[in-house]
Amino acid sequence: MKIGDEEGGVSRTLSADKIIIAVGTATARDPKIKFDGEYIFTSDDLLDLENLPSSITVIGAGVIGLEYATIFAAIGVRVTLVDARPRMLDFIDAEVIDTLTYQMRQNRVTFRLGETVTGVEAFEDGGHKRVKISLESGKEFATDKALVSVGRQGATASLGLENTTIEPDSRGRLKVNEDFQTSEENIYAVGDVIGFPSLASTSREQGRLAACHAFGQKAESMASLFPYGIYTIPEISVVGKNEEELTEAGVPYEVGKATYREISRGHIIGDEHGFLKLLFHMHTRELLGVHIMGEGASELVHIGQAVMGANGKIDHFVKTVFNYPTLAECYKVAAFNGINRLEQLPPSAQVDRDSLPVAI
């Protein structure tokens, strides 16, 4: 394997019995768009911006696009968000997305969902350069800057994979088996370059497991239960199933919910809109999903993740004493809220009411 720049005189050839590819991804660039890095750019170019624009259009409402859209909106930039899909982040609970949409609208974000972009072009406007956005529906509008966030591409183009049996897919991603081996058994691949779930947390674990296998060390397989942290403003974190998935699977579930404004810590930090939602089985009371929006969500979710990992029930939170004042108290409030719902079910639901904890 060669690394370095031969033209600059710095080049080395390395060899090894085992190789792990962890090159990550690069921003995908639509060849029809003329990127200039200043007016029309990707997330990789953001740190090179010299001035904040008055307005920006974010093309692509994926995780990265949403994160940057909310950041710009929070600091006063007028944001327009365009995406061909009618719903943002369809793997996230609908109530969470509805709340995020409301919060973003409060920050003057304009949504153009279900709209396909047909043109992105810089033009002169009274001595100043701006960007024209054209949509398939016939709409056109101008913006100071355009951030194009239409996904990521595996950074595999310069690896020389043509000299192996490894074939990247159309987005440069590599296929691996359960031990993270590619079609060449001595070459492994981990992280974003292999696709879903493309999280830093899971990528680290994949790397550890691949290294263990390469050196013949025993290790547990990759856990199927892992949290998502989405660093929008407000922050989102989820683990487990959402309501849509449980409904589609025919799982009888109930909901327990707590809002930050019910909790002293919520008042202290000034987060009046955050909430925590627990989904649990109506009969067994097993915890099935945790969905959080608000400050500290990506830390708070780990409590629910630990309980779910032990196949715990919503009862756990009723019996647990949490520090005061902390956001963790939301788990207890949400648990009581859910149990109160169970007590109001009709007899036909066949819930063993005598085994329920005492509600408040």
Residue 25 sits at φ, ψ, to 5 deg, of -135, 165
Residue with tokens 């696009």: 65
pLDDT score for 55: 97
Class of domain 29-150: alpha beta
CATH architecture of the domain with residue range 2-26+153-214: 3-Layer(bba) Sandwich (3.50)
**What is the reported pLDDT for 220?**
87
Q: What is the pLDDT of residue 7?
A: 58
The contacts of residue 169 (CB under 8 Å, 6+ apart) are 154, 175
**Over the stretch 71-114, which tens digit does the pLDDT of each residue have?**
999 999 999 999 999 999 999 999 999 999 999 999 999 999 99
User: How far is it, in rounded angstroms, from Cα 82 to Cα 342?
Assistant: 41
Would you state the torsion angle of the CA atoms of residues 305, 339, 97, 99, taken in this order, to the nearest 10 degrees?
Answer: -120
pLDDT (0 to 100) of residue 158: 87
For residue 240, what are its two tokens? Answer: 């487990």
**DSSP letters spanning 188-242:** EE-GGGG-TT--HHHHHHHHHHHHHHHTT---PPPPS---EEE--SS-EEEEE--
* 29-150 matches 228-355 in fold: no
| Residue-level pLDDT at 221 | 81
Q: What global pTM score does this model have?
A: 0.89
Question: Where in the chain are the domains?
Answer: 2-26+153-214, 29-150, 228-355
Give the span between the Cα atoms of 316 and 175, in whole angstroms: 40
- What's the pLDDT at 8? 57
Give the whole-number percent of the chain exceeding pLDDT 70: 93
Q: What is the pLDDT of residue 359?
A: 45
pLDDT at 5: 55
Question: Quick one: the chain helix, strand, coil %, rounded to 5?
Answer: 30, 25, 45
Residue spans of the chain under pLDDT 70: 1-11, 347-360
The pLDDT of residue 358 = 47
CATH code given to domain 228-355: 3.30.390.30
Per DSSP, the three-state class of 181 is: strand
Find out whether 110 and 94 touch, Cβ atoms under 8 Å.
Answer: no
Task: Give 81: exposed, middle or buried? Use CB within 10 Å, 0-12, 13-18, 19+.
Answer: buried
